[in-house]
Amino acid sequence: MNDSANTPKEAAIHFLQLTAAGNVNEAFYLYVSPEFRHHNMHFKGDADSLKAAMLESAAYLPAKQLEIRFAIAEENMVSVYSKVTISPGEPGIALVHFFRFSNDKIVELWDLAQAPPEESINENGLF
């Protein structure tokens, strides 16, 4: 790991913080393995395709904010639950990222997103 992240959990969190802040190239340089693959159904499964999508997101959504709610690590796997707000005043989207690490680098990534419904019977909400 680098000086910013001593554990896979810290690396996963830092990776998400960097990408959300628009520092996509730095995030990929620091944390992504050459063997990286991902499972986001909107993009091809390679690192370059996901990186390009993250760079585009950073350019088109500069007000995007990421709030890490919690992270759980077990062996080489990390899950991170977060709230992403695209613009101020919006309710935010719940995101869950699952990372698999090998040799201190991210080798596999899954992500799931859920927007809050307009009406919900659950008084606890997503967050």
- How many CA atoms are closer than 13 Å to the CA of 92, on its beta-carbon side? 15
Residue 46 falls within a domain, yes or no?
yes
Cα separation, 66 vs 93, whole angstroms: 10
Residue 126 falls within a domain, yes or no?
no
Residue 1 falls within a domain, yes or no?
no
CATH number at residue 106: 3.10.450.50
Q: What is the pTM of this model?
A: 0.93
Residue 123 falls within a domain, yes or no?
no
- Domains contained in the chain, number: 1
The radius of gyration of the chain from alpha carbons, rounded to an integer in Å, stands at 15
**Residues near 8 by beta carbon (within 8 Å), at least 6 away in sequence:** 1, 73, 76, 77, 78, 99, 101, 104
Query: For 78-87, how does the pLDDT look when each residue is reduced to its tens digit (9 = 90+)?
Result: 999 999 999 8
Residue 125 falls within a domain, yes or no?
no
Domain, as residue range, for 87: 8-114
Residue 64 falls within a domain, yes or no?
yes
pLDDT tens across the length of the chain (127 residues): 655 678 999 999 999 999 999 999 999 999 999 999 999 999 999 999 999 999 999 999 999 999 999 999 999 999 999 999 998 889 999 999 999 999 999 999 999 999 998 888 999 888 8
Residue 120 falls within a domain, yes or no?
no
For residue 10, the SS3 value is helix
DSSP 8-state symbol, 116:
P
Residue 13 falls within a domain, yes or no?
yes
